[in-house]
Amino acid sequence: MTDTYLPQINGVTTVVRRIADTARAAGHAVAIVAPRYPHGSGGDGGGGSELRVPSLPFPPYPSIRLSFPFHRHVAHFLDRFAPDLVHAATEGPLGVVGRRYAMDKSLPLVTSFHTDFPQYARDYGLAVLTPFVWRWLLHFHRPARMIQTPGIAVRDELVRRGLRNTVVWGRGVDTRHFRPDRRHAGWRRWMAGADDTVIVLHVGRLAPEKNLRVLVNAWNRAHRCLGPRATFVIAGEGPEARYVAAHAPFARQLGFLDRDTLADLYASADLCVLPSRTETCGLVALEAMAAGLPVIAADAGGLAESVCHEENGLLVRPDDARGFGHAIVALALDADRRRALGAGARHTAESRDLRIEDQELLRQYATLVPSRITSPSSQAVSLTPEGALHRC
């Protein structure tokens, strides 16, 4: 059950698709309930049962959908599928429907805490709502037998607030897809015009919670120092795109990129800058690191759990635009340091390879779905790769 999925590309979609692919590869049946998008669904990420629910665009982000919570319609679909486990990956309308269905049917419920909505409220000038946001999140996740979140700090905060079934999962990266050898000279010439120009990259949703005012300030500082020795490139879309274009007109905005193009872009850049302080994990950082890029990141949240200062990148106080600018200039002018940090970044990403984490997902599910015999002649079913029949 997810309120965002293909063709929308973001961290949640990436993780949800991984869950579906992992379970299917292990022999399990998977059904996905997700929003219907106006230009198609982009496939279901591997076949199987899927229900697309009518939705409307969310005004600040037209690409994000608000689904109609047709509980009866969804429940009928799920009744036909007969799940053994329900995973509500988001706290939106479809997550709520999945939560209610699991509770009504006494099924094991898994939830995911991907997004730091309390911090989002502060970033959007709605700090007064933060206690109410926390109240909703605690209410939503409390019935879950297991709560997955990709960050250690977030897990500890949830445990402190009474959600003791919280585990760390969802911060693996596909190091076979995102890798340094996808570096492409043609890409570099197209972006920078010269082979020796340093390409400074930012990837992500162009929105206030990504701390883009700090990014733009830092890039202007670095641009004044570096001039033609550096090219600044942004991949992503969102409500702040016009602000970025107006205040950093020298930066190349590439808009939305598919996964393959993004992998080539990472590998063809030289360093990545991520000033967001709201990341529970920061999959963008891990993807960049898998491509061998040093990451200059905010010393906050999930980014600080992946980026180790002077080992695989640099950490800067989240609102220190001057510090980000200095870090960019320092790495842009020191190729040997960039290469050393890039090698450390790749090593870190390899330690987070998703294959190990995917096996942990199956183990976690298995603890919630015990083996059972459906008839005297049937075999016991279990959440193992061999002959697995559970539906999740």
What digits encode the pLDDT tens for the residues 211-229? Answer: 999 999 999 999 999 999 9
What is the model's pLDDT at position 391?
46
Q: What are 345-367's pLDDT values in tens digits?
A: 999 999 998 888 999 999 999 99
Amino acid at 362: L
Structure tokens given for 183: 């570096």
> What whole-number distance in Å separates Cα of residue 93 and Cα of residue 2?
9
> What whole-number distance in Å separates Cα of residue 298 and Cα of residue 307?
9
**pTM for the full predicted model:** 0.83
> What whole-number distance in Å separates Cα of residue 67 and Cα of residue 83?
22
**Which three-class secondary structure string do you get for 226-258?**
HHHHEEEEEECCCCCHHHHHHHCCCCEEEECCC
**Hey, what domains does the chain have and what are their CATH numbers?**
11-172+353-368 (3.40.50.2000), 180-351 (3.40.50.2000)
pLDDT band at 383 (very low <50, low <70, confident <90, very high): very low
Q: Tell me the three state secondary structure of residue 267.
A: helix
Q: What are 119-164's pLDDT values in tens digits?
A: 766 766 677 888 898 999 999 999 999 999 998 989 999 999 999 9
Pairing of strands 61-67, 55-58: antiparallel
What is the model's pLDDT at position 9?
80
What is the model's pLDDT at position 48?
60
* Residue burial 7-29, b: 16+ Cβ < 10 Å; e: rest: ebbbbbbbbbbbbbebbbebebb
Q: How many C-beta atoms lie closer than 10 Å to residue 127's C-beta?
A: 12
Amino acid at 307: V
* Contact present, 34 and 89 (Cβ < 8 Å): no
> What whole-number distance in Å separates Cα of residue 338 and Cα of residue 353?
22
Residue 90 confidence (pLDDT) above 90: yes
What is the model's pLDDT at position 121?
60
Q: What are 26-52's pLDDT values in tens digits?
A: 999 999 999 998 876 655 444 569 999
